Structure 1
Amino acid sequence: MQSEIIVVSDTHRFNGYLTDLEKAYPQADLYLHLGDLQDDPSRFPKWKFVRGNTDDFFPGQLMPSMRVVEKDGIRILMTHSHKFSQSSLKEELVRLAQENSCSVVLYGHTHVPAIKNEQGIWMINPGSPSIPRNQSQPSYARILIEDGEVKPELIRQEKWPFKRISRTE
């Protein structure tokens, strides 16, 4: 049995990407957004959200700042990570994952994609499809769960299964 999870963060009002991802991965089991949507989350009923630092407006205030989701026995912690010290981010996210019995932490805010395994915990930042930073390319993440094994990957723009003409369409 295999499950598929699509993860995006920091779309900053350029939310056509969410529709693109739904169409490109109609079979996905979960669609997760890690904050800085800057839009009404009810417009995207297939997605689960956490609140980012730019989502502090109504109805963005209704999004939780952190949440745990579970798929096929894998517990996944979602956070935007803006409330954590960037100098100790890794340690704080590992601690939070351990406290919540999670083997995967998804975080955003930096707009820089990353996948690392720290102390047996997958730490995944999908980057940003609309406003990448630090010379990174636009990106999102895809996670496969197969027989209890987590298989994360970053999908950079040149490998996207869709073509977006502009960020705003």
Structure 2
Amino acid sequence: MKIVVISDTHIPKRSKQLPDELLEEASSADLIIHAGDWQTAQVLEELSTFAKVEGVVGNVDGPELTALLPFKKVIEANGYRIGIVHGHGKGKTTEKRAIDAFCEEEVDCIVFGHSHIPVLRYEQDILLFNPGSPTDKRRQKYFSFGIIHAGESLVARHIFFSAKA
């Protein structure tokens, strides 16, 4: 199962459209996860033309998106439990807030965003994955998003690229 993972698209503030690199991967996705800061429901609608979309709202998402999406959720993908949260809040790091959001639940993976900093590491047996941002790299060298393959195991990787849409 191929899962395309994105966060912090910030459309139309940071970009007018999703980048071609992302759309190309989305065209063969079985599932798309968005970890918040969409800024517009049009991003949800566009991604839904490629595959089922699971997502949460972030700190810049307005009433239109908060009416459609929760602040955190757990989904099942090919037998794996994936927690999704944006990661914003007060105190601690974004990563620590994301971990704390699922401290009462059993998950195999936590997908989060907010910092725009790509993360791929394990905390004990939990895969922590922040895809970065495909439209607003901030202080990062590259724009990015991620792919998780859910098969015999969960295998995650980042897709880095330099051109903005």
Query: Taking structure 2 as the reference length, what is the TM-score of the superposition?
Result: 0.82
Checking the alignment, whether the CA contact within 8 Å between 1:15 and 1:37 is kept in structure 2 is no
Residues 59-78 of structure 1, C-alpha deviation per residue, up to 9 Å, x if partnerless?
11222111111111100000
Q: Deviations over 1:58-112 (max 9, x none)?
A: x112221111111111000001000253x35444433443422111000000011
Match of 2:32 in 1: 31
Q: CA RMSD in A?
A: 2.2
2:18 aligned counterpart, secondary structure:
helix
Q: Percent same amino acid at aligned positions? A: 28
Whole-angstrom CA distance in 1 between matches of 2:122 and 2:113: 16
Task: Give the alignment of 1:37-48 within 5 angstroms.
Answer: 37-40=38-41, 41-45=44-48, 46=51, 47-48=53-54
TM-score relative to the length of structure 1: 0.80
Alignment equivalent of 1:9, drawn from 2, 7, 28? 7
SS at match of 1:24: helix
Cα separation, 2, equivalents of 1:74 and 1:127: 22
Contiguous gaps of at least 5 residues in structure 2: none
Equivalenced residues, count: 156
Distance 1:22 1:101 in 2: 31
Distance 1:93 1:25, change over 3 A: closer
Aligned to 1:161: none
For structure 1, the residue ranges without an aligned partner over 5 or more in a row are 159-163
1:69 aligns with 2:69: no
Task: Name 1:152's counterpart in structure 2.
Answer: 156
